[in-house]
Structure 1
């Protein structure tokens, strides 16, 4: 199959490279010359415009925000001049981005109207996992297209068929809602510990032997204790996913009270100029 890929960022680049390693024909678009040169050296075709990506069997997107995906496939302001308009009937849109169910369903409907099958395959963890082809992929959407893509998905990551688009979006958003709320509580707890006269590097080992232990404590707790806020998953991205998750919950009639409180802490971190730092920088704002 002929694949094209839009969104060669920290997550998209390893996914695209995995498609090449699987032996598929790949066309990519990037505005970064060094990235273009690297993919060309590995055997990809480098498009000179986004529109060239429409000439494919499978269009892959991995972009930061829902509006970026929408603009790419539907055109600016939904003009209908995006990639869907030029894609052939029977082609597939394989969407890796973290987007909300409402956006994904609207894209699936627009794709279907053009004869394009929509598959949501939201990535679950980190670029490092993607590089090792161990990235969880939460897959839902057009059943025939999922079946067609499944052998490829097994080569580039660890796919989980959750059947529908809502679930494919929700699993990742729920993961970040729970994880980032946990991180916000951890940051607050370490601040309270400081009020008790305990430095984070002394308190963390004690907490890790209690019911307070968590993934965020194990991974980001030491970064907070060491004042290491270099970006792995930035405050801005955490706030974006919490915002999308809260909107998703409200759309389904659920009020996400605790998650909204956590979102408030990340918004505070953004207001203090910490948006580009790692999500654990919420520790600085927990005062």
Structure 2
């Protein structure tokens, strides 16, 4: 099976590498071609100089880029994948986008005889490096089942959430929950520090109980140490929460805590923290706790 992978960022680079380890013939494309060459050298795959060259013979094309416009550039533009893919091939978008874009891509794919699934991922760079991502999928059952050998190469779990777009909506819920957990974790750490509790001991105590979470286990200690220079950058979280709030508006609901988190992240980004991890939310919560 021939697989193409478009987008070699912190997620795509290792994801494409896991596909080679799983036995697939992989060709990659990245807008910065030197990165594609680096990937090909490391993983003994092929680096294409154009999207068309990358996807022309592919049975499956996987995309993991930055935002809606990046996806359109790589898929539905005149030089995008859909113009060069063979009929019957499969297009999978691993980018976190709006649900509306997924529906747009599905329609465009159908027009050229290509099957489509939206499949945003969660687990961060560590999850991609270790091949243990959670994959939230939108599409039909048969296609989901056909994609399992691909998803198993870099995923710990893949779940079909419903029709096209529902994978992206599930990812929105994921991002809302992360922001909510970080708000509560930040306030808890502030009180813990003021009370003289030892943070590593506290985390060991709490992480396996009802308050336990990935954020607590992986970020609480570094948050208390004022370390935020790793992981998923808040500029991307601002993009993702924007999708959440837009979808909420379409559904006729308000998300007050998400709105508050969005405002805090925007303020942090404007102050120069845009490339810091989402756990930097603690800085905003700390300021607010001082009144």
> 1:232, 1:156 → 2: CA distance?
18
* Count of paired positions: 281
TM-score, normalised by the number of residues in structure 2 = 0.86
Alignment match, 1:63: 65
CA contact (8 A) 2:8 2:35 kept: no
Q: Is 2:17 the partner of 1:20? A: no
Secondary structure of the residue that 1:13 maps to in structure 2?
Answer: helix
Per-residue deviation, 1:51: 2.5
1:175 counterpart residue number: 174
- Residue 130 of structure 1 is matched in structure 2 by 128
> 1:11, 1:127 within 8 Å by CA — same for their partners in 2?
yes
Secondary structure at the aligned position of 2:232 is classed as coil
**Shift in Å at residue 86 of structure 1?**
1.9
The alignment's TM-score, normalised by the length of structure 1, stands at: 0.87
Deviation of the 1:8 alpha carbon: 0.8
Q: Which residue of 2 aligns with 1:238?
A: 237
Q: Tell me, which stretches of 5 or more residues in structure 1 are unaligned?
A: none
Q: Is the 8 A contact 1:187 1:283 kept in 2?
A: yes
Q: 1:198 to 1:100 in 2, by over 3 A?
A: same
Partner SS, residue 252 of structure 2: coil
**Which residue of structure 1 lines up, in the alignment, with residue 223 of structure 2?**
224
> Which aligned segments of 4 or more residues in structure 1 are displaced greater than 6 angstroms?
none
User: Which consecutive residues of structure 2, in runs of 5 or more, have no partner in the other structure?
Assistant: none
State the Cα distance separating 1:135 from its structure 2 match. 1.5
Match of 2:94 in 1: 96
| 1:186-197 aligned within 5 A | 186-191=185-190, 197=194
Partner of 1:7: 7
Q: Which residue of 1 aligns with 2:263?
A: 264
Mapped contact 2:139–2:162 kept (Cα < 8 A) = yes
Cα distance, 1:14 vs structure 2? 1.5
- Kindly provide the CA deviation profile for residues 177-197 of structure 1, in whole angstroms up to 9, marking residues without a partner as x: 111122134334545677xx4
- The range that moved more, 122-131 or 88-97, is 122-131
Tell me how large the CA RMSD over aligned residues is.
2.5
Say whether residues 1:54 and 2:55 are aligned partners: yes
Given the alignment of the two structures, is residue 37 of structure 1 paired with residue 34 of structure 2, yes or no?
no
Preserved contact between residue 193 and residue 200 of structure 1 (Cα < 8 Å)? yes
Quick check: 1:183–1:216 contact (8 Å CA) kept in 2?
yes
3-state SS of 1:118 partner: strand
